Structure 1
Amino acid sequence: MTLPGTLDAGLPTVSGRPWPGVRYFCTTRQGGASVGPWSALNLGRHTRDDPAHVDQNRALLLRHLPAAPLWLDQVHGSTVLDADLSQPSEPGRQALPVADAAVTTRPGTVLAIMTADCLPVVIASMDGRALGVAHAGWRGLAAGVLENTLAALRLRADVGTTWQAWVGPAISRVHFEVGPDVYEAFTATDPEASAHFAPGAAQKWMADLPALARRRLLQAGIQQVELSGVCTYAQADKYYSFRRNPTTGRQATLAWLAPV
């Protein structure tokens, strides 16, 4: 279930069901200062957009957060950062931590990832005391970024803690054509994952990335998984999509534990 929301006039967001003790949402491309293919709320500095416009967009976003986000240098890997040992990297523009996921148990610490077709995934304990976010393209998903994120969270939680996850806007199967290498990356160790691939043209496959993520989350022990059902490729007016246009911006998924 997708729940539209608005942080500010002209700044819509999308989220899932409310979670006690957790705040989370994904931005859209609407409501910012960027122009051209980056129009309008591009939050990615690495996209060749005007840096001044990205600064304005991030400043607009910051007004609605309890603290500066901890941005990551995402590399389509499976490394998980302990955000409680890191500092937000925005003020001095120092090098970003290289990771594709982050976890925290500290209220008010804002986790952030950027996407433009890849999966943004938020994982939290149902008691609202532990939180993680992950950027999962097919490489990171196959490499175990979601399992690694949950493992890092379990180290910080009580035995018997139950978990929930939200899989945000991403490219859908009808638009995500992949080669046999992607098919084999998922089915070599999990043959039943083939159910989430449909035959494409000329030895290609149409991959259902959100469904593959849900499968892996459930197998890892997540009790509740919610898919947004939003396709970034199909909604050009609302979401950036790298596959639709490689010159594009990035939306961000933000999450934090509410201060008690």
Structure 2
Amino acid sequence: MTDTPDVFRARLLADVRHGFLGRRGGVSGGLHAGLNVGFGSDDDAATVAANRDRALAAVAPGCLLQTPYQIHSADCITVTAPLAERPRGDALATDRPGLAIGIITADCAPVLLSDTAAGVVGAAHAGWKGALAGVTDTTIAAMEALGARRDRIAAAVGPCIARASYEVDDAFRRRFEEADAANERFFADARAGHAQFDLEGYVAHRLAAAGVKRVETLGLDTYADEERFFSFRRATHRGEPDYGRQIAIIAVN
């Protein structure tokens, strides 16, 4: 592992402090080797806190990092002051300089959003459940309540499990097709009773359908790239007892 955290940035968010962090540049060891930022992991809490400090310093030094207690929901929390405790939800929105907001992933899609004219940013954790339930929609709505306009918002979908790595069963596929028959295009046939799901493409579609005109996808596969990313599914397939998590951070300039 390198000493400096990897920070993956989106071209569309170049005018705002942001970054999708990978696993390099942290102080964790063993199964969590690298920049594990998950307090829900079995890693030492002090080590996780040190990794979070490293991640924050690489993206928004001097800011106070705010993250939710993620529950795979569509709930977005508006942050107007430092949080006394982590609220349950899967997205945050803020217009306050000095507060950096972040979400944790390990295959799910991290989404960072910004309306620089309004000085409003958002961060969403879009696993399949939250994505289908509309977590990006609630994040956009929360940003609008702070003065953003969806036609000015730029959004980026960061490192997540790619379609080639994401096999699902027919019941999973039916959930999406029952919600909208057009969702069929996000699935490719695989072995009998299974399909490959394009989570990144689906999340980008939900953003565009909500009226976000500028959407960027980074095209980075967390499952396939073990050197750079943690992956829940990879750890599960290997029978490993735990896994690390990475973070995506954004802050008002």
TM-score above 0.5, yes or no? yes
Q: Residue 24 of structure 2 aligns with which residue? A: 30
Maintained 8 Å contact 1:19/1:126: no
* Separation (CA, whole Å) in 2 of partners of 1:160 and 1:59: 31
Equivalent positions of 1:93-108 (< 5 A) are 95-108=85-98
Maintained 8 Å contact 1:125/1:131: yes
Determine which of 53, 69, 88 is the counterpart of 1:59: 53
Determine which of 121, 134, 153 is the counterpart of 2:124: 134
Q: Give the 3-state SS of the residue equivalent to 2:98 in structure 1.
A: coil
* Separation (CA, whole Å) in 1 of partners of 2:106 and 2:44: 18
* Separation (CA, whole Å) in 2 of partners of 1:108 and 1:194: 42
1:14 aligns with 2:14: no
Letter in 2 for 1:192: A
Closer, same or farther in 2 for the Cα pair 1:158/1:71, shift >3 Å? Answer: closer
1:252 aligns with 2:247: yes
Determine which of 36, 41, 53 is the counterpart of 2:35: 41
Closer, same or farther in 2 for the Cα pair 1:18/1:199, shift >3 Å? Answer: closer
- Runs of 5+ in structure 2 lacking a partner? 237-241
Q: Residue 187 of structure 1 aligns with which residue? A: 177
Determine which of 44, 69, 76 is the counterpart of 2:65: 69
Q: Give the 3-state SS of the residue equivalent to 1:188 in structure 2.
A: helix
Q: Give the 3-state SS of the residue equivalent to 1:103 in structure 2.
A: strand
* Separation (CA, whole Å) in 1 of partners of 2:148 and 2:232: 39
- Runs of 5+ in structure 1 lacking a partner? 1-7, 90-94
* Separation (CA, whole Å) in 2 of partners of 1:111 and 1:140: 18
Q: Residue 212 of structure 1 aligns with which residue? A: 202
Determine which of 132, 147, 163 is the counterpart of 1:157: 147
Q: Give the 3-state SS of the residue equivalent to 2:99 in structure 1.
A: coil
Letter in 1 for 2:252: L
Maintained 8 Å contact 1:12/1:30: yes
Maintained 8 Å contact 1:33/1:39: yes
Instruction: Give 1:68 shift.
Output: 2.1
Deviations 1:62-119 (A, max 9, x none): 43423221111000001000111x4245xxxxx4210100001112210010000000
* Separation (CA, whole Å) in 1 of partners of 2:20 and 2:151: 26
Closer, same or farther in 2 for the Cα pair 1:161/1:37, shift >3 Å? Answer: same
The alignment of Structure 1 onto Structure 2 pairs a total of residues equal to: 245
Letter in 1 for 2:143: L
Tell me which stretches of 4 or more aligned residues in structure 1 moved more than 6 Å. Answer: none
Which deviates more from structure 2 when the two are superposed, residues 189-198 or residues 227-236?
A: 189-198
Q: How high is the TM-score relative to the length of structure 1?
A: 0.88
* Separation (CA, whole Å) in 2 of partners of 1:151 and 1:59: 30
* Separation (CA, whole Å) in 1 of partners of 2:148 and 2:56: 32
1:235 aligns with 2:231: no
Maintained 8 Å contact 2:8/2:21: yes
CA RMSD of aligned residues (A): 1.9
Maintained 8 Å contact 1:69/1:88: no
Maintained 8 Å contact 2:64/2:98: no
